[in-house]
Structure 1
Amino acid sequence: MKILELTDVTKTYASGELEVQALRGTSLEVEAGEYVAIMGPSGSGKSTLMNILGCLDPLTSGTYLLAGRDVAHLDEDELAEIRNRYIGFVFQQFNLLPALSAWRNVELPLLYAGVGKADRKERAVAALERVGLGDRVGHRPGELSGGQQQRVAVARALAGDPAMILADEPTGNLDSRSTEDVLSLLDELHWAGRTIVLITHEADVAARAGRVLHVRDGLITDLAVAA
């Protein structure tokens, strides 16, 4: 089963009279349960591609099917619903609220989805236990290491039980030990059947994936199977 399918997707940004084509007829298929890495230099279009995949930015032309649904035909409420249902996001900057404890950060997507208070906490604590932070549920981000903060971010992505994790440079702000911890966690999630799509500019990080896509000048130029 295909979790996502892009066909001849373009994305054009306008700045005054200038138009910049960030994606130029890009096509991509990802099967459920795959672990795919997307690599490319700065300005290659990989961040735009990630925003398209995450339903954060509309495409200019082409087709994007997420779990069989054409996202171009969804309104804002439907887009929010499909993001909550199918996608868990992990970002380079963690995006945690410093005043909230770990479990309260993790529960936020569930709050937006209308999940009841007791169920939210139960699911948030379970997600933190799954990423090895069961003893840190009451800690605020400032009381956690960078690697632990990123684990909280992964737990937040998992709390809604999404079909796919979209990770945008998730190790970009981490030291080598924390990087290994987070990549090992993504490995475990993949082995458990979760679809992982990882955006990175680091070859050793991309090598953890089963398939590596290279993006340049708005096109996927080649793909390789990781060792």
Structure 2
Amino acid sequence: MTPDAVVSLEAVSKTYATGAAEVHALRGVTLRIDRGEYVAVIGPSGSGKSTLMNILGCLDVATSGRYKLNGVDVEDLSETELAAVRNTHIGFVFQQFNLLPTLSAWRNVELPLVYAGVGRAERRERAQQALGRVGLAERVDHRPSELSGGQQQRVAIARALVTDPALILADEPTGNLDSRSSEDVMALLDELHASGRTIVLITHDLEVAAAAGRSVTVRDGELVGAAAPLVGFRA
């Protein structure tokens, strides 16, 4: 893998045992995502895209094949090392925001830095900078309940940015938002991509996927489209 490849999957398969049966969630997936790319992964429910997301995010490991993230072969890592990779190399943006309701916006954003052992003063400075980057400089002390859905997702994006990760992994980031907030969040992802961020967007929505520079389609555990969404695809 060259230094420009952030994601490199080589013949990755994932099999789950369910009683006496086996479920082949992924079948020999090979995929490369270079630094600065914006890639959408699309597919219907049960296609394997969630399993692919979990492997990309180091939330699960492949049954076979190789996965290198930013040059690191994750197969060789211990659970502790995998946790460190998740915390520093990947910025997660989830559909549900996953903000702690008792903490202010900046306290939510600083959490990855807490786990990384960064000092308190630096944590606050970096968290506030990240919130400023997503347009929430005036909301750093607000709790999630005091923010709109779109603003909460912006806090989640700031949290994803605060460690300066190699990869931003966004899983249905507009799934819980109204159309205006969805447009705002997608515009922010566009800005981040324009600034050089590598983004992988997991979605079933073709309109959302269209924002990416490239898309791959997952069906029955296999990649069946690596350049653009399949015509006629429906979630």
Structures share fold, TM-score greater than 0.5: yes
TM range (shorter): over 0.9
Equivalent residue for 1:87?
Answer: 90
**Deviation of the 1:76 alpha carbon:** 1.2
Measured on the aligned residues, the alpha-carbon RMSD in Å equals 0.9
Q: Which residue of 14, 18, 24 corresponds with 2:21? A: 18
| C-alpha distance after superposition, 1:195-222 (max 9, x if no partner) | 0000000001000000011100000101
Is 1:116 the counterpart of 2:105? The answer is no
Cα distance in 2 for residues equivalent to 1:9 and 1:108: 31
Alignment length, in residue pairs?
226
**Deviation of the 1:223 alpha carbon:** 2.1
Q: Which residue of 193, 210, 216 corresponds with 2:219? A: 216
Spell out structure 1 runs of 4+ moving beyond 6 A: none
Is 1:100 the counterpart of 2:103? The answer is yes
Cα distance in 2 for residues equivalent to 1:13 and 1:108: 32
Equivalent residue for 2:188?
Answer: 185
Cα distance in 2 for residues equivalent to 1:95 and 1:17: 35
Q: Secondary structure at the match of 2:200?
A: strand
**Contact 2:39–2:214, Cα closer than 8 Å, also in 1:** yes
Q: Any gaps of 5 or more consecutive residues in structure 1? A: none
> Which amino acid counterpart does residue 46 of structure 1 have in structure 2?
K
**Contact 2:88–2:112, Cα closer than 8 Å, also in 1:** no
Bigger mean CA deviation after superposition, 73-82 or 109-118: 73-82
> Which amino acid counterpart does residue 78 of structure 1 have in structure 2?
E
TM-score (norm 2): 0.94
Is 1:76 the counterpart of 2:79? The answer is yes
Cα distance in 1 for residues equivalent to 2:194 and 2:26: 31
Q: Any gaps of 5 or more consecutive residues in structure 2? A: 230-235
Give the percent of matched residue pairs that are identical in Structure 1 and Structure 2. 69
Q: Which residue of 187, 198, 209 corresponds with 1:195? A: 198
> Which amino acid counterpart does residue 135 of structure 1 have in structure 2?
E
**Deviation of the 1:85 alpha carbon:** 2.4
